[in-house]
Amino acid sequence: MKFGIFYEISVPRPWTPGAEKQVYDNCLEQVRLADELGFDQVWCVEHHFLEEYSHSPAPELFLTACAMVTERIRVGHGIIVCVPEFNHIIKVAERTAVLDILSGGRLEVGTGRSATWTELGGFGADPDETKKTWDEYVRVLPKMWTNERFGYDGRAFSFPERAIIPKPVQTPHPPMWVAVTSPGTEIDAADRGLGSLGLTFGGFAEQEKKIAEYRRRIQLCDPVGEVVNEQVNTVNFLFCHEDVKYGGEVGQRLAGTFSYMAAQLLAAREAYPSRSYPSLGLLPQLRQEAAGPGDPSGLPEGLAIGDPARIIEVVKRWESVGVDRINFLLNAAETVPQQEVLDSLRLFAAEVMPAFATTEKVA
Amino acid sequence: MPLFGSLDTGGIAGVPVMADLHTDPLTIERADSLHLLHEIESAPMLDLIPPALHPTVPPTVSVWGWRCQGTEIGDFTVVQVRIGCRAGVRPRGYLLACYVDDDAAADALSARWGFRRDPGTPKLETMHHQTVVTVEREGTTIIDAALESPESISGGDVQYVAGMHLAETPSGPRLVQVDPEFTFHRADRGKPRLHVFDAAAVGDERIVPSWPVSSSFAITDITLPALRYVCRVDVPAMAGTEPVR
């Protein structure tokens, strides 16, 4: 089991001068500490226009800053919105290569397609097309990284042969993932040999079914890259405190705030009738799980909140259903004071990480 | 935390009076349903919904027409104008204006589910190349909205959100949650065209549709349900939601 941290970079109103910088500074301080404590990876999303929920339109810049102030932690650029109106694929290939170079080969690349009308409409993207363009991106991107020169004549984009430079330092190329929220995307991931970057919180039974199907299908995959990345990465909330009651209260406030903000966005499914978006994506799951059925501690099933003993139980359960990595969301709208976030990370590293042998504690 | 509405509901005319919140469901078989969604300019968005509700990001207005035949409250056409919002975490449409072409049906919809009735005559017309809803008031068209160039989709791809209807109830002014169920027989989508939208006539001249989002047409059974929840207008829905007992 490997542990990481995960950023939406949510900034609560009022957006006074310096408010956004303070949140970014807090996130960087957390990343530095996580690196020292032995966390394996830091992920940062790409979102646009999502007021309060996520002020992270340029994760490659944040992750470059992370790479500059850390030594070991891997940087997860994800997900990159694989829709031409958002990101030209040549720019994606170039900037990921540069980030891999600057981070010393620590890049992980997450792919996806956006699930809100707020974003799709803002960029003038056609919701019917996003799954198709994503498919084309993940097939072409590895070729752009690995061929000295490359040209392409496709459906969503075409370009003449060019030297797409620089190249990533990882060989054959950085690990690739796809965000899994809509039903069936875990199959898309498996069939293409991509890692499953789960973006749902909690819910063991549902995840166990998806993971089993992913493991079965990926054995038969036709990989889009030069390597198969058979790994299941999921996200969770983290608040770890010596007092299970206090840890649970703060953790539930964190989860509730995050879910509440997410619910204010206009889901693609809600706004635009399309087979391309068969569910509301992340949002209903968040609501259900943040307030969902409790385990014997009275806290929502599957959430890594409470004291170290409870969190160890939760993580072991995730391990048992087949999860390889967990990335933790540490804050939402700064609802948890920065010092408590840092203390939570330290306590997790001291008391929880040692229970999972494959995670090396450095500090 | 998200923004809250600031609409003062005390000054709103024509609020339905509901003497009793207990009603039997009503199923309308094979209704024609045309729904258009547009983004609106954000400047007035907080003034369009009461403090119980949050605006969506981005704010929206929808025009939703039903043509209903052979129902237990008669044949009627209704056109609703709704502002997209959230009651806590739930997607909702706040009913800003509503037009009904039949007195008996209007009375039933008002008394049992809190649909307001504004002056105007609605009409829904289906053609092969488009479906149109219009509302006329004193010889002037105040709404003319169409789905053009229809293409078939699955009914499962269509999602309607529940309504929040301002009504005077035995407990005082409340937002009545109306959460119909739908059984789709056919569905299309197409290009939304809002040819006329007289914002002042509809209820607030500051509503400016700024960007078309979607339009869908369906033939669907609609079940207007027994009411389950109402909500105070003056406090967040998370705190002010009350079950109908």
User: Is the CB of residue A108 less than 8 Å from the CB of residue A325?
Assistant: no
| Element housing A147 (H / E) | none
CB A128 within 8 Å of CB A156: no
* Nearest CB partner across the interface for B57, out of A265, A274, A333: A265
Of A49, A269, A275, the CB nearest to B159: A269
The whole-number pLDDT of residue A129 equals: 96
Q: What is the pLDDT along chain B (245 residues), one digit of tens a residue?
A: 899 999 999 999 999 999 999 999 999 999 999 999 999 999 999 999 999 999 999 999 999 999 999 999 999 999 999 999 999 999 999 999 999 999 999 999 999 999 999 999 999 999 999 999 999 999 999 999 999 999 999 999 999 999 999 999 999 999 999 999 999 999 999 999 999 999 999 999 999 999 999 999 999 999 999 999 999 999 999 999 999 98
Look up the pTM and report it: 0.93
Chain A residues whose CB is inside 8 A of the B189 CB are: 273-274
The proportion of chain A whose per-residue pLDDT surpasses 70, expressed as a percent, equals 92
Distance CA A25, CA A39 (A): 19
To the nearest 10 degrees (0 to 180), the angle between helices A308-320 and A244-262 is 60
* Closest chain A C-alpha to B116 CA, distance in angstroms: 25
List chain B domain ranges.
Answer: 9-243
Which ranges of chain A does DSSP label H, i.e. alpha helix? 19-37, 59-68, 89-102, 117-123, 130-146, 185-191, 204-218, 244-262, 268-271, 282-290, 308-320, 338-347
Asked if the Cβ–Cβ distance from A273 to B161 is below 8 Å, we say no
Beta-bridged to residue B211, according to DSSP, are B39
Chain-chain contact of B88 with A263 (C-beta, under 8 angstroms): yes
> According to CATH, what is the number of the domain B9-243?
2.40.400.10
Burial of A246 (0-12, 13-18, 19+ CB in 10 A): middle
In whole angstroms, give the CA distance from residue A276 to residue A224.
Answer: 22
Could you say which of B84, B89, B158 has the minimum Cβ distance to residue A273?
B158
Residue A49 touches partner B, C-beta closer than 8 Å = yes
Chain B residue numbers touching A270 (CB-CB < 8 A)? 91, 159, 161
Whether ipTM > 0.90 holds is yes
- Taking CB atoms and an 8 Å cut-off, how many pairs form between chains A and B? 70
DSSP track, A65-77:
HHHHT-SS-EEEE
Q: Is the pLDDT of residue A287 over 50?
A: no
**DSSP-derived 3-state class of residue B26:** strand
